[in-house]
Amino acid sequence: MREILIATGNSAKQGEMAAVLGEGAPGGVRWLGLTDLPVAIPEPIEDGVTFLDNAILKARHYSKATGRWALADDSGLEVDALGGAPGVHSARFAGLSGGREMVDPANNEKLIALLRDIPLPRRTARFRCVLALADGDVILATASGAIEGMIVDSPRGSGGFGYDPHFLVPELGVTTAELPAADKNQISHRGRALRALRPQIERLIAGRLNG
């Protein structure tokens, strides 16, 4: 049984990833979270300039620390009117660290303040996710996914986390915070990236079992 670590300290994100990976998990894999480890592992410094940089950095860090394959993601919000910001700085856009109950409202408040004079048609944005699977320093697989939307002033919905209450999916007429978790996972940037990665994991597992 191959143990693969879902290397994130964000419990909401871990839940989303585990749900999608569990839809049709390849045989021979046991998915672990950071909370399943006997000791806590210090977080790496995410100083990459792209989502891929940070995903690779985190995957290698946790794989080397645990001796397991590690799957890490880096994801965030890209707002066209802000030149792609907050981008890789999405998690700490407002400069705060700590629990999501404090960080998320501050990030959203800054986002909406910066867009105050921007009309809705120009508030196009996307959530982007990049995944990396590492075995030590070796990157076994990568994948990415994105979902297009628009930023609305007033928060809507109580689901999700981060910028979800302000991210409107125009074709659905709802924010990603208004979607049931299962529906969100079907269309989300993270869900799409995970489904793109899964065939690669299946081939890797099959190769190791047959090798």
**What pLDDT shows up at residue 202?**
85
How buried is 25 (Cβ within 10 angstroms: 0-12 exposed, 13-18 middle, 19+ buried)?
middle
The answer, yes or no, to whether residue 97 has pLDDT greater than 90, is no
| The CATH number of domain 2-210 is 2.40.160.20 | no
Phi, psi of 114 (to 5 degrees): -70, -25
Residues 6+ apart with CB under 8 A from 37: 5, 66
Q: What is the pTM of this model?
A: 0.90
pLDDT tens-digit series, residues 107-160: 999 999 999 999 999 999 999 999 999 999 999 999 999 999 999 999 999 988
Percent of the chain with pLDDT over 70: 95
pLDDT tens-digit series, residues 174-211: 999 999 988 998 999 999 999 999 889 888 988 764 54
Q: For the chain, report the end-to-end CA distance as a whole number of angstroms.
A: 15
Active site residues: 74
The answer, yes or no, to whether residue 28 has pLDDT greater than 80, is no
Spell out the domain ranges in the chain: 2-210
